A and B are shown apart, each in its own frame.
Chain A
Amino acid sequence: MAETTVKDLKSRHMYLNMGPAHPAMHGIIQIKLELEGETVIKADVEIGYLHRCFEKHCEEGNYMQAIPYTDRLNYVSPLINNVGYVMAVEKLFGVEVPERCQYIRVILSEISRITDHLTSVGASAMELGAFTVFLYMMKAREYLFDLLEDVTGARITNSYTRIGGVKADLTEDFEGKCKDALKELRGVIEEVHRLLTKNRIFVDRLKGTGKISKEDALAYGITGPFLRSTGVDYDVRKRNPYLIYDRVDFMVPTGTNGDNLDRYLVRMEEMEQSARIIEQALRDIPEGPVSVDLLDQTIEPPEMVDSAKMGKTKDLIVTGVNVTSTLKGSEKKRHLGIKVDDKRIAIPPKQDTYSNIEGLMNHFMLIMNQDGIKPPEGEVYFPVEGGNGELGFYIVSNGTDRPHRVRVRPPCFPIMAAFHKIIEGEMVPDIVATFGSVNMVGGELDR
């Protein structure tokens, strides 16, 4: 009887669909696979399941109304998107925000970057079976969310920056709470290193899988931790420094092999470097100009509005007002530290709006329909370093209060464009590990 060898068996390729709703992948994406056994021969990635028309919405409203839409782009690190967008508009104007405001933006951007990496590493570890790591990382994330909630008012979709500044100053106890949160964070990173980095199963699954070469990564225009894991040290914060990144000292970690393990190690190290940046910024942050010419008494806002309407304006301009808790941090005395001193761009403090006619007119001219912030005609491209790579905003202005075109260059778009090439030749379980290390965020990919 002749022995049947593998060559005699006729086999066909199997077509498998890793559909949009898949348990082992966070994010809705469809991968159509052509398999031979468990090895991928060809893959076709289909995206667009979360298309929410960000670019069209920006054209419908004015410049300020686009800020909440930018939050929901990369929703794991929303402050970085906010900062990128407003800095692009400020580049159109050609203004620079006050120094304290720059430090605040950097501190909160780095906190956002840490939450991005925590979620990414945690979720990808969970998909490989390390559920405990996910719980630890979410615990660390909760401390950071508490911090963000104190300053910005929201945990996730903050909409904190404004064109020409930020919404409110940091709270008084921010430095203490931030240091506590960073201590917890470092504890969690240490624990995760002990659990995963030398873990035989984890390393075996990640080492050598999802490899991409340096040339391929550059040809596809990939940036961020994905590119840094291949050895190219491209980081927008070092190459085209913005805000105060040229004054803080931090390292840009790079890998060598371009595989999943290197990406995991790069992200873990980047969290440590972000914590370093935050500590240096907290040490160096300037006090900011404080207006001291206010009388001791304070009155309630309705009273102030009534007095102003009736013409009883003696000393009103130097009287303090009790702002509600939602406006805490944006009082008049801290205004010049957090907003640029330009009437065309920054909304005046509520106290001026209530107490004198110039403030009221200024407020109306910036808020009413058809009026508003009107940058000069032109176009700019402003890149910032997002959690996944270079996040660029390309804004075309036609001189009116609505942008003519807002384009987001999403960092994970070229990575997903290269994804079918990366998984060719790998096995199906490796797809899960690779997809986790891509950190695809649907809001950013599909906009």
Chain B
Amino acid sequence: MGVGNGFGKNLLFTKLDRAIGWARKYSIFQYPFVTACCGMEYMSVACSHYDIDRFGAGFPRFSPRQADLLMVVGTISHKIAPILRTVYEQMCDPKWVIAFGVCTCTGGFYNNYATVQGIDTIIPVDVYIPGCPPRPETVLDGLIKLQEKIQDQKQEI
């Protein structure tokens, strides 16, 4: 009912958007691009004590073609930056990026000739999680923020 007239069409698509957003946010397949010390906190978050699985994001897919969340964990150096961009471009839409740790947000305290000063100079980032390394509770907070973002954005099918 109401697909034909103006108000009804918008209502249907809004409800559809919210339903798809709900489905997408609770079934995140992450690609953990782990390089450095933040990887230790990533391991803690993924395991039983802090358990990222209860948010639906527990199953890492190790192929970028099958993943929708790229978690960049740890310092990115200029040597690996082209590879990070290749991995990002291989992922299919819709895709999101989390910058985990302050080295990925701004470069951290590594202001030197080999470190990328923030991965947002190379790929677009959705959520920044600062910390060196961030506590697992901070990571879960960042994940919940990402879930809110996914719910509220316009879903393209």
Contacts and interface: CB of A to CB of B under 8 A. Distances in A.
A49 B40 contact: no
A113 interface: no
Given A19-B83, A52-B112, A119 B40 contact: yes
A87 to B, nearest CB: 22
A23 interface: yes
A137 B20 CA distance: 37
Given A28-B80, A52-B110, A53-B110, A21 B44 contact: no
Contact of A53 (B43, B79, B83, B113): B113
Size category of the B interface is: 20 to 34
A57 interface: yes
B57 interface: no
B35 A442 contact: yes
A155 interface: yes
Contacts of A134: 47
B34 A49 contact: no
A280 B49 CA distance: 30
Contact of B114 (A52, A155, A156): A52
Interface string B105-133: 00001101111000000000000000011
Nearest to B74: A50
Contacts of A145: 44
Interface residues of A, number: 33
A186 to B, nearest CB: 19
Interface stretch (A68-76, A193-201, A379-387, A404-412): A68-76
Given A21-B83, A23-B62, A138-B44, A75 B49 contact: no
Given A20-B80, A49-B79, A157-B133, A138 B36 contact: no
A57 B132 contact: no
B22 interface: no
Interface string A32-53: 0000000000000000111111
B44 A72 contact: no
A53 B35 contact: no
Given A157-B37, A442-B36, A50 B47 contact: no
Nearest to B133: A156
Contacts of B30: none
B122 to A, nearest CB: 15
Contact of A51 (B34, B39, B43, B77): B77
B37 A156 contact: yes
A142 B113 CA distance: 35
A48 B78 CA distance: 10
Contacts of B110: 52-53, 57
A205 interface: no
B135 interface: yes
Q: Counting chain A CB atoms within 10 Å of each CB, which of B41, B43, B75, B132 scores highest?
A: B43
B105 to A, nearest CB: 16
B87 A21 contact: yes
Contacts of A49: 35, 77, 79-80
Contacts of A76: 40
Interface in B7-45: 33-37, 39-41, 43-44
Nearest to B111: A57
B135 A68 contact: no
28 contacts: A21-B33, A21-B87, A23-B62, A23-B63, A48-B77, A49-B77, A50-B36, A50-B74, A50-B77, A50-B80, A51-B77, A52-B77, A52-B110, A52-B112, A52-B115, A75-B37, A75-B40, A134-B47, A135-B47, A135-B48, A138-B48, A141-B44, A155-B44, A155-B133, A156-B40, A157-B37, A157-B133, A442-B36
Interface of B: 33-37, 39-41, 43-44, 47-49, 60, 62-63, 74-75, 77, 79-80, 83, 87, 109-110, 112-115, 132-133, 135
Given A57-B112, A68-B109, A443-B36, 16 more contacts: A21-B83, A21-B87, A23-B60, A23-B63, A28-B80, A49-B79, A50-B35, A50-B36, A52-B110, A52-B115, A53-B110, A75-B37, A135-B47, A135-B48, A141-B44, A156-B40
